[in-house]
Amino acid sequence: EDQVTQSPEALRLQEGESSSLNCSYTVSGLRGLFWYRQDPGKGPEFLFTLYSAGEEKEKERLKATLTKKESFLHITAPKPEDSATYLCAVQAAGGSARQLTFGSGTQLTVLP
């Protein structure tokens, strides 16, 4: 069974204080690993897709990396508007369905 574990559950940072969020996964063959941002009461917003170990993707203050067992979302010099829940999901290879298995998320709060 595919599993995704995110840590920490919650993280409070001062504005400008860089940090990393962790996503550990077990999957029977990885098709892709996905990062989403979710604001309260809204649907997840797509951020990145990573397909193979060693791959990195960047977008503004966010950088996602992937190894064979985990992914990190690095946040550099965060701003209060980066406050949100960050969700990690995996998609298993094989089969006709492209379902996503999500972790419980990391709730990030950036204080001004």
| Residue indicated by tokens 């965060």 | 78
- ∠ CA 6-49-27, rounded to 5°: 55
Other C-beta atoms within 10 Å of 85: how many?
18
Q: Kindly indicate which of the ranges 13-21, 53-61, 71-79, 91-99 contains the residues binding another protein, using the contact rule CB under 8 A.
A: 91-99
Contact between 86 and another protein per CB under 8 A: no
The residues in 29-68 that bind another protein, with binding defined as CB under 8 A, are: 31-32, 34, 36, 41-46, 49
Contact between 3 and another protein per CB under 8 A: no
Nearest to 27 by CA among 50, 9, 11, 57: 50
Which residues make up the interface to another protein (CB under 8 A)? 4, 31-32, 34, 36, 41-46, 49, 87, 89, 91, 95-105
